[in-house]
Amino acid sequence: MQRQAWWRQTIPAKQERIRVLAADDQPSILEAVELLLAPHGIDVDCARSPRLLMEALSQRDYDVLLIDLNYTRDTTSGQEGLDLLAQIQEYDSRLPVIVMTAWGNIGLAVECIKRGARDFIQKPWENDRLLSLIRVHAELRQALRRARQLELENRLLRAEGMPEFIASAPAMQPVLELIAQVGPSDANVLITGEHGTGKEIVARLLHTASPRARMALVAVNAGGLPEGTFESEIFGHVKGAFTDARSDRIGRFELANGGTLFLDEIANVPLRQQAKLLRVLETGELERVGSSQTRRVDVRLLCATNAMLDEEAKAGNFREDLLFRINTVEIHLPALRDRREDIPLLAAHFLNRNRARYRKQVLGFSPAAMQQLMQYAWPGNVREFEHTVERAVLLCRGEEVEPANLAITASRAATTSFENMSIDEVEALLIRKVLRRCDGNISQAAEALGLSRAALYRRIEKYGI
d(CA 137, CA 177) in angstroms, rounded, equals 23
The mean pLDDT value for 303-332 works out to 91
What's the pLDDT band for 148 if we cut at 50, 70, 90? low
More confident residue, 1 or 33: 33
Which pLDDT score is estimated for 429?
80
What's the pLDDT band for 420 if we cut at 50, 70, 90? low
The mean pLDDT value for 343-368 works out to 90
**Neighbour count for residue 420 (Cβ, 10 Å):** 7
Is 412 a residue whose pLDDT tops 50?
no
Is 234 a residue whose pLDDT tops 80?
yes
Is 8 a residue whose pLDDT tops 70?
no
Is 329 a residue whose pLDDT tops 50?
yes
pTM (2 d.p.) = 0.59
pLDDT in tens, 433-458: 888 777 777 878 888 887 877 788 87
pLDDT in tens, 156-188: 545 544 556 788 888 998 898 888 889 888 899
Q: Select, from the ranges 4-18, 95-109, 374-388, the one with the highest average predicted confidence (pLDDT).
A: 374-388
Q: Which of 129-143, 213-227, 296-310, 354-368 has the lowest mean pLDDT?
A: 213-227
Go through the domains of the chain in sequence order and give each one's CATH number.
Answer: 19-144 (3.40.50.2300), 170-334 (3.40.50.300), 337-413 (1.10.8.60), 415-465 (1.10.10.60)
Which pLDDT score is estimated for 161?
47
